[in-house]
Amino acid sequence: MIATTMIHLLFGPQGAGKSTLARQLADQRQGVRFSIDDWMGELFAPDMPQPMNLPWILARVQRCEQRIWAVATDVVRRGGTAVLDVGCMQVADRARYAALASAQGLALRPHFVTAPLAVRRQRVLQRNQTRGDTFAFEVTPGMFTTMEGHFEPPDAAELAGCAVTETA
């Protein structure tokens, strides 16, 4: 393992505060932040089919994640810190990142970010209106509901290895 460098992997449901925490971690550690929302917003949001098509979105998320991982690991190998705000909605996604880091001898610290459903829904609606620092593209109520059903919460074993942040 590389002791002085680290990949911080943030995960949690939409609106939990992942992007805000990612910015804080990157600032505190002078790290490079990689946000899937930024990548998806710039590269694919203008072409997003209506109504939302989850397989279309997930295929593009996968492409972005592959490129993010390649650049993030390069940052870490060069002595830096990478903060990945890539969602990791499912257990298999998180396990895949852990396996990749392990296979490459890179330290990985998972961070589970969570908040109550009503708080998260309100944050997303507010973010759509204010279009502040963490806004990348509009998340419609339908998109929120679809992605909510897609998220797999961590079990006790997965949580044991995580930094947990509950926002309110």
Containing structural domain, residue 105 = 6-166
HEC letters along 51-101: CCCHHHHHHHHHHHHHHHHHHHHHHHHCCCEEEEECCCCCHHHHHHHHHHH
Question: Which pLDDT score is estimated for 24?
Answer: 95
Question: Which pLDDT score is estimated for 4?
Answer: 54
In a domain, 93, yes or no: yes
In a domain, 125, yes or no: yes
Question: Which pLDDT score is estimated for 138?
Answer: 66
| pLDDT tens profile 58-97 | 899 899 999 999 999 999 999 999 999 997 989 999 999 9
Confidence of residue 137 (pLDDT cuts 50, 70, 90): low
In a domain, 99, yes or no: yes
Write down the residue that tokens 């998340």 correspond to.
139
In a domain, 1, yes or no: no
Collapsing DSSP to helix, strand or coil, 114 comes out as strand
User: With contact defined as beta carbons under 8 Å apart, do 148 and 124 qualify?
Assistant: no
Question: Which pLDDT score is estimated for 132?
Answer: 66
In a domain, 29, yes or no: yes
With 60 as the cut, is the pLDDT of residue 148 above it? yes
pTM above 0.75, yes or no: yes
| pLDDT tens profile 120-131 | 788 777 776 676
Q: What's the CATH code of the domain at 27?
A: 3.40.50.300
d(CA 28, CA 39): 22
With 80 as the cut, is the pLDDT of residue 52 above it? no
What lies within 8 Å, CB to CB, of 166 at 6+ separation is 113, 114, 115
Question: Which pLDDT score is estimated for 129?
Answer: 66
What lies within 8 Å, CB to CB, of 9 at 6+ separation is 84, 86, 88, 94, 97, 98, 108, 109, 110, 111
In a domain, 25, yes or no: yes
Q: How many CA atoms lie less than 13 Å away from 5 in the CB half-sphere?
A: 18
User: With contact defined as beta carbons under 8 Å apart, do 83 and 25 qualify?
Assistant: yes
The number of domains in the chain is 1
- Of the ranges 13-27, 71-85, 127-141, which one carries the lowest mean pLDDT score? 127-141
